Amino acid sequence: IAEVDGTAASGGVHAFLHVDAEGALAQARAADERRAAGSPASALDGVPIAVKDVLATEGLPTTCGSRILEGWIPPYDATVVARLRRAGLPILGKTNMDEFAMGSSTEHSAYGPTRNPWDLDRIPGGSGGGSAAAVAAFEAPLAIGTDTGGSIRQPGAVTGTVGVKPTYGGVSRYGLVALANSLDQAGPVTRTVLDSALLHEVIGGHDPLDSTSIDQPLPPLVDAARRGATGDLTGVRVGVVRELGGEGYQPGVLSRFQESVDLMVKAGAEVVEVSCPHFVHALAAYYLILPAEASSNLAKFDAMRYGRRVLPDGADNPSAEQVMRASRDAGFGDEVKRRIILGTYALSSGYYDAYYGQAQKVRTLISRDFAAAFEKADVLVSPTAPTTAFKLGEKLDDPIAMYLNDLATIPANLAGVPGISVPSGLADEDGLPAGVQVLAPALADDRLYRVGAALE
């Protein structure tokens, strides 16, 4: 894999930051033996998987795409990783990502970007571009991503893969290096909806190590995917979200979306238009709440407790503060620094109510919009991302243009509801993949799989 995957500089896809060929082979051999003995550990026993580098993996480097964690080898597994191992999935390696999962293009990785296998001059989405590109390039049949504002679904859309953000609390966050604790969720990145359901059943469910984990069994996801695959959506009420479409969306993305809606009508679904008037403020609220939580989370990387230590130039006997300053300056990239500054400002006394407090109120209004919409519809649908994959470098100097790519995915994170992105076809203007997003009420992840499988 490492050879095929290459480096960004050599023009390769560069989906992986670390490949564990030996470890994966040993795990695959053990799986072969279990299968030969007729006792596989799970339906996915022996199926290799790639894991986003934000999840702690015992004995394998975990960098979060950052220099500050260069060389760190965790002494423990994230719960998601422990469950993958228990189910017998060989871990191929760790995938590239925007530093600390901040970004929509994987260009903010400290280790060079990942390229989109459909067109190597284009981005694979982000922050989990490595996981999506690994699956799209057939370097891994399955991958794990994390989605704080769209980082599983948007890369899924622009690489023509399936990506699922489970209900908040549905998959353990233990061992997931937090970007924004109240928004983060790990989930599947795969080529088919059924694969995502199988993987979701392996990683999901209650974990006492995560205080936000929901203590309730998962709904039957694989059954729902099989049911959806029959192509019958009779009795399903689908709400098209008026605010997620139209202006700012690429025409070819909108036409593929309209075809998905037509397909649902043909499958017997009842399609209605719904309005979620506060969604237009979701992006603004998110870019206060996320930096606030991130600035607090990243404070621990001070080179004393966590993080690589860099000594300041020219100081013979540097103070702790000088070491922290030099380490954080060298260890964090520009986007991380930008968000630390934003978040610290939003949380500072005198501004807290005006920014952080206000954003939390908007968050409540968005949850209410969802609640009202889910009275009229069982699932909501929209394009996953407003555009297909853009060119590397195109939005690097314009953070707001980069942020706008997530305007359709962010509301689900703010409300904690689950979402899936399923390929909807290739846009006419550039022949690149687009995605359709299906959202369901919290705990109703099975609906994503039923409707998602009917859309394949």
The residues of the shown chain that bind ligand GLN, judged by CB under 6 A, are 101-104, 126-127, 147-151, 179, 290, 406
Strands of 230-376, DSSP E = 237-241, 270-274
Nearer of residues 100 and 374 to ligand GLN, judged by Cβ: 100
* Of 2 and 345, CB closest to ligand GLN: 345
Strand order in the sheet with 379-383: 16-19, 91-95, 49-52, 142-147, 185-190, 162-165, 419-426, 433-439, 379-383, 237-241, 270-274
**101 or 276: whose CB is closer to ligand GLN?**
101
Dist. CA 170–CA 431, nearest whole Å: 35
* Beta carbon nearer to ligand GLN, 102 or 451: 102
Tell me how far, at minimum, the Cβ of 335 lies from ligand GLN, in Å. Answer: 8
Give me the least distance between CB of 129 and ligand GLN, in Å please: 10
Residues whose CB falls within 8 Å of the CB of residue 75, separated by 6 or more in sequence, listed in order = 58
Out of 127, 131, 295, 327, which one is annotated catalytic? Answer: 127
Residue (148 or 250) nearer to ligand GLN, CB:
148
Assess whether 348 carries a catalytic annotation. no
Torsions phi, psi for 360 (to 5 deg): -65, -30
Active site (annotated) includes residue 151: yes
For residues 51 and 81, the answer to whether their CB atoms sit within 8 Å is yes
Question: Which residue out of 52, 94, 165, 395 is catalytically annotated?
Answer: 52
Q: Is 165 tagged catalytic?
A: no
Confirm if 142 and 199 have CB atoms less than 8 A apart. yes
**337 token code pair:** 């620094």
CB of 150 to ligand GLN, least distance (A): 5
Q: Which of 42, 131, 151, 196 is catalytic?
A: 151
Q: Measure the CA–CA gap between 308 and 327, rounded to whole angstroms.
A: 7
CB of 90 to ligand GLN, least distance (A): 26
As to burial, measured by CB atoms within 10 angstroms (0-12 exposed, 13-18 middle, 19+ buried), residue 138 is exposed
Nearest approach in angstroms of CB 408 to ligand GLN is: 12
> How many CB atoms are closer than 10 A to CB 115?
25
| Residues known to be catalytic | 52, 127, 151
